[in-house]
Structure 1
Amino acid sequence: MDERVWVPVGKVTRAHGVRGDVKILPYGDTLAGFQAGGKMHVRVAGFHALRTLTLTRIRPHGRFLLAGFEELPNPEAAAAIVGGEIVLSEDHLPPTDEGEYYTYQLIGLSVETTAGIPVGTLRAVFDAGSHDIYVVAGRHGKEVLIPAVEDVVTEVDLGRRRMVIDPPEGLIDDL
């Protein structure tokens, strides 16, 4: 049985053109190094097995990538993977710099203040342009948006599954 952890790194949004290409929304820069001949794995909803595809072409298209695969020779074949996620084995992810983390590593972290006050559980991360925003499910169903900046996020401890923040005044007063 395959014990690898598969990490989503992009989503197939639609078929493109008459050659069976697909449009992929990459999650970050992880797919930037892929070239023709490389293998990509796709997880399609409703199927248990991953589908391995061989790249024949890939190029940027705005904030998307256009990719063609040997196994998808026409638009009908490409349509079969629309909605699927491109995944990489965790051990094939490029290493992060110190203080940088993959989103999948952060989801589920317990968030507390430097004073030890529980804030909630990190549920999502989104790009706000100059920095990410951490979406924390707080007490009583309240959602807290935490700016992912060094002055606010003081510690990330993946081993203990926790994040410590020093919130600016007013950020969590109503919890």
Structure 2
Amino acid sequence: MAAPVCVARIGAAHGVRGAVRLWTFTEDPLAVKDYGPLTTRDGTRQFEVTHLREAKDHLVVTLKGVATRDEAERLNGVELYIPRDRLPETDDGEYYHTDLIGLAAVTTAEQPLGKVIAIHNFGAGDIIEIAPPQGATMLLPFTNAVVPTVDLAGGRVVIDLPQEIDGDDPSAA
């Protein structure tokens, strides 16, 4: 069975009737209601969105069974998951981060680099993090130039290591 996929994180309570702020990790934030029951990673707790509305940079949601501010406050920071098979299929060249985690990373010359351990986005585009068997992890732009091949069926990504990094001029030190 595939690992569950984190689609949202509960934030602070909103109001006095049990509503919470919700940050979604889905392309369409409102789709979080369409995925059915949301669970904690270990599956021990289940939540159903009964009402949602858009706010400035998040959603405000009401969860079934959460009726007071105290109950809502206790949920702050809880991540919500769904089974991978509930997500829609991706288009060509699009990938769910969860599908990339754990893939082997190799160079264009088929030399092993390590494993993909994370995909980050700090606001300027996706970054792929690769952990070699030893040493520090590598953070590389997740672009077609640097990652020309994603082979989900083969369990690997091909990395075309950049020769230089913009701004990396040792003579300027």
Shared fold, TM over 0.5: yes
CA offsets per residue over residues 42-74 of structure 1, 9 Å max, x none? 317xx6523132x23212233322111231111
Deviates more, 1:76-85 or 1:109-118: 76-85
Corresponding residue for 2:144? 150
Aligned partner of 1:43 among 18, 21, 40: 40
CA offsets per residue over residues 124-164 of structure 1, 9 Å max, x none? 11114342001111243212111111111111111222100
Corresponding residue for 2:170? none
Q: Which has the higher strand share?
A: 1
Which residue identity does 1:10 align to in structure 2? A
Corresponding residue for 1:6? 4
Corresponding residue for 2:99? 105
Gap change, CA 1:92 and 1:30, over 3 Å in 2: farther
Aligned partner of 2:134 among 123, 136, 140: 140
Are the counterparts in 1 of residues 108 and 159 from structure 2 also a CA contact under 8 Å?
yes
Q: Percent identity?
A: 31
Q: Which has the higher helix share?
A: 2
Are the counterparts in 1 of residues 117 and 130 from structure 2 also a CA contact under 8 Å?
yes
> What stretches of structure 2 of length at least 5 have no aligned partner?
166-173
Are the counterparts in 1 of residues 14 and 69 from structure 2 also a CA contact under 8 Å?
yes
Distance 1:65 1:97 in 2: 26
Are the counterparts in 2 of residues 8 and 86 from structure 1 also a CA contact under 8 Å?
yes
Aligned partner of 1:70 among 46, 64, 71: 64
Structure 1 residue runs of 4+, over 3 Å off?
37-40
CA offsets per residue over residues 3-41 of structure 1, 9 Å max, x none? 575211111122222121111221232543245x98431
Gap change, CA 1:56 and 1:99, over 3 Å in 2: same
> What stretches of structure 1 of length at least 5 have no aligned partner?
none
Gap change, CA 1:108 and 1:38, over 3 Å in 2: closer
Distance 2:32 2:77 in 1: 20
Q: Does 1:160 align with 2:142?
A: no
Corresponding residue for 1:118? 112
Which residue identity does 1:71 align to in structure 2? G
Are the counterparts in 1 of residues 7 and 32 from structure 2 also a CA contact under 8 Å?
no
Instruction: Give the alignment's TM-score, normalised by structure 2.
Output: 0.82
Are the counterparts in 1 of residues 126 and 141 from structure 2 also a CA contact under 8 Å?
yes
Distance 1:103 1:30 in 2: 16
Gap change, CA 1:30 and 1:40, over 3 Å in 2: farther
Aligned partner of 1:52 among 47, 55, 73: 47
Distance 1:130 1:136 in 2: 18
